[in-house]
Amino acid sequence: MSNSNTTIYTHEYWPAESPPLPLEYFYRYEAEIADSDFLVQPKNGEATHYSWREVGDQSRRVASYLRSLNMPAGSKVALLAKNSAHWVMADLAIWMAGHVTVPLYPAMPIDHVEHVIDHSDAEFIFLSGMDNWEEMQAGLRKVERGIALPGGPDDPRFISWQAVIEQSTPLTENTQRAADELATIVYTSGSTGMPKGAMLNFSALAAATVLDPVYLHISKDDRGISYLPLAHVAERLTVEMGSISCGTCIYFSEGLETFTQDLRRARPTIFFSVPRLWMKFKFGILQNIPAEQLDKLLDDPATREQTQKAVLEPLGLDQVRYAFCGSAPMSQDLLSWYQRLGMNILEGYGMTENFGYSFATIAGQERLGYVGTVRPGVEAKLTEQGEVLVRAHTNMTGYYKAPEKTREALTDDGFVCTGDKGEFDEQGRLRITGRIKELFKTSKGKYVAPAPIEDKILSSLLLEACCVMGSGEPQPIALLMLSPDARVAAANADQRAGMTQQFAALLADVNAQIEAHEKLHALIIVKDEWNIENGYLTPTMKIKRSVVESAYEPRLGEWYAADKGIYWEA
């Protein structure tokens, strides 16, 4: 694939020597801060603290066991598990044993699990306990052996983690992996068709740990919490690799039911989340204090600092030094709202194909609606169509066993074609304006970019998700999914009537801000909940646009014919 000749944005900094590889970082801290906490795992309200020494001991024992199986060097080992201390230990053990990690989401559809296991040639698997084990077994029919992590399934094919620890002698040598060796195959979420496996070598993972002092000042005293899927590059980069490269401690969450308790225990100094969850935090805060009262307290210099602390401390977020957001665009209104709380959320931008590493916001140089400038070792440019192209040390070598798809994704000179449409400002900060393939044409022959319109709609606290669609129609419409609280309130006829008036005002406000061909014909409040389990959302909680559109397209004619500005799906 060729590319266009346009301005290339680059970052001037790159270390004189190549950064250490992940295992080299681990061995350093295993020796230097052996007794410091590395991983903290909660269970039933209590927490087990694993030091760097203890993590090293268990990982080395599991690596020794893997070597005893005599699998060929570079064998693919699947890791289908919830986030936990043992997820990280398993990852390290796979690398120490000379193999390749293939992470899978526990919430991944069964047919996708079976596809990844088969397509990746996985010869072994690590498994945690999961709520849908009975169904999941269908996707693991071809798996013959593995290790059940603590709390994992009771299946004769899988030996328990504890049994491996008890019967194995830890490796004594520090296994070295070459920079160009394959470290992991990360399968995309598969929003269209079956997932593709991006191949990332050790040098790519190492490059993502280059933390220019311009960006961050992280020390061994910092703490993070892991609760988003580690199978996704964003969590693996910011939490796992961030900790391994800086010697920080990772706390884990036991699940949704205990998340607040787990967050208070961790009191993270580094916190990463996605827009959907940042919105949920906001909903929770406003349940305890009315928005008008909060605004009044924050406007008053005499009460501002005390109010900020009173709001963030019960959440466990009062000690956050660096707050990050990624995986999807965050609305400008939401970013501004958190800024008033004293939490400056720094947006970043990346994708599976470059290990989530390409753009980041620099503290003090933020611009609302922009994802920052290129990170060290990154080059970026736009095509004539406005597509963002990125070349970085973190770029994948290609898709596993998919040369044609690799040629579609990589230019001849090594740029990843992101599929995102964007624009740069005078300081080289990037704004994502939508997906190239998400643009649709109305019957009037005009193109509509849904993402910017959705961003405006999601300023409403009544909403949790939105999808603008209408290909081939005179005007677009927007499908709206209510927040949990709004869903409960809508069951009351009087409250629903009030919400209808709010949505009518929202429709008028949004339409006043966009071009004539983009103006929304109607807002449709859908009755169904979009979630990961029913396939409407990716594991990182982005809407699967093609799934949503396919599900609701049969009703478009009815909604256009009704000619209502606000329509509640029956």
Q: How far is CA 48 from the centre of its chain?
A: 26
Q: Which residues pair with 200 in a beta bridge?
A: 184
pLDDT: is 268 or 445 the higher one?
268
Between 419 and 328, the higher pLDDT residue: 419
Q: Where are the beta strands (DSSP E) in 326-377?
A: 345-349, 359-360, 373-374
* Per-residue pLDDT, 219: 87
Res. 300: pLDDT tops 90:
yes
Q: What is the pLDDT of residue 69?
A: 97
Task: Give the Cα separation of 271 and 275 in Å (integer).
Answer: 13
Average pLDDT over residues 242-269: 94
CA distance 392 to 380: 9
Per-residue pLDDT band for 2 (boundaries 50, 70, 90) equals: very low
User: DSSP character for 536?
Assistant: S
User: What pLDDT shows up at residue 181?
Assistant: 98
Tens of pLDDT along 406-435? 999 999 999 999 988 899 999 999 998 878
Instruction: Compute the distance between CA of residue 310 and CA of residue 114 in angstroms, rounded to an integer.
Output: 47
pLDDT at 211: 64
- What residue spans define the domains of the chain? 439-568
Mean predicted lDDT score pLDDT of the chain: 90
User: What is the torsion angle, in degrees rounded to the nearest 10, for the CA atoms of residue 273, residue 277, residue 283 and residue 288?
Assistant: -60
Q: Please tell me the distance from the alpha carbon of residue 461 to that of residue 263, in angstroms, as a whole number.
A: 23
CATH code for the domain defined by 439-568: 3.30.300.30
**String of b and e for 168-182 (b: at least 16 CB within 10 Å)?**
beebeeeeebeeebb
Instruction: Find the distance separating the first CA and the last CA of the chain, reported in whole Å.
Output: 48
Which one has a higher pLDDT value, 448 or 407? 407
Is 5 a residue whose pLDDT tops 50? no
Q: Over the stretch 185-219, which tens digit does the pLDDT of each residue have?
A: 999 865 456 889 999 999 999 998 886 555 678 88
Structure confidence by residue, pLDDT tens digits, 19-78: 899 999 999 999 999 999 999 999 988 999 999 999 999 999 999 999 999 999 999 999
User: Residues 6 or more apart from 470 whose CB is under 8 A from it?
Assistant: 440, 442, 448, 476, 477, 521, 556
pLDDT digits (tens, 9 = 90+) for 43-53: 988 999 999 99
User: Distance (Å, rounded) from C-alpha 116 to C-alpha 120?
Assistant: 6
- Global pTM reads 0.84
